[in-house]
Amino acid sequence: NNSILTSESQQLQMEKSALERQVEKLRRERTELSLTRTQRILDAYCPKTGDKEERRCNPCQRGWLLSPSKSSCYLVITAKNYRELKTWEEAGEDCRQRNADLVVIENKQDDSSLYSYWIGLRRTSGVWKWVDGSDLTESYWIYQPYDNADCAVSVKRRSPEGWRPEDCAVKYRWICEMKALSVQTLLSVL
């Protein structure tokens, strides 16, 4: 009986040591991933310039447009052919992969989009909400929303301008939005 208990105790000690090594390995990997993410963000907003490898920070990543209020960055996705267009869900997923969301339009000046781009507005249980969870308070509907049209596209450079309700499964171009880099944002990342 005593030898069985000793054998089981040794087995448990070996398993415990193996688990401790695995936990330490996972901690190191998590730290490396965190450093990699921080480095990617730093490189995206603060690319190295010149021979001295100095960094110059920008409020938006390369290719993104700074909003007039300087609080947000926009990426206008202009698909070149029908295969590149996306449904509302697909467009939202593309924005999330870019650490952004479909654009939330707070006032008419923010709506600088072109013809027929998905925006971050969707009707759920009969209520129109933005992707950030806020309620629709001001709207620029060209046509009043109708059944089976639970997402919205922005329409500009065509008369009339504003938003049009649309079936979420239709494919369009889209606009992503993320917060512009500020000193507080940069410090929280680093």
Kindly tell me if the per-residue pLDDT of 130 is higher than 70. yes
For the chain, percent of residues with pLDDT exceeding 90: 33
pLDDT recorded at residue 183: 56
Q: Which of 3, 185, 4, 168 is nearest to 91 (CA)?
A: 168
Q: What is the mean pLDDT of residues 159-168?
A: 81
Query: CA-CA distance, 132 to 34, in Å (whole number)?
Result: 25
Would you list the DSSP string of 145-182? --TT--EEEEE-SSSSPEEEEE-TTS-BEEEEEEEPP-
80 vs 59, higher pLDDT:
59
Q: What is the pLDDT of residues 40-58, one digit of tens each?
A: 777 777 777 777 778 778 8
Kindly tell me if the per-residue pLDDT of 1 is higher than 60. yes
Query: Whole-model pTM?
Result: 0.68
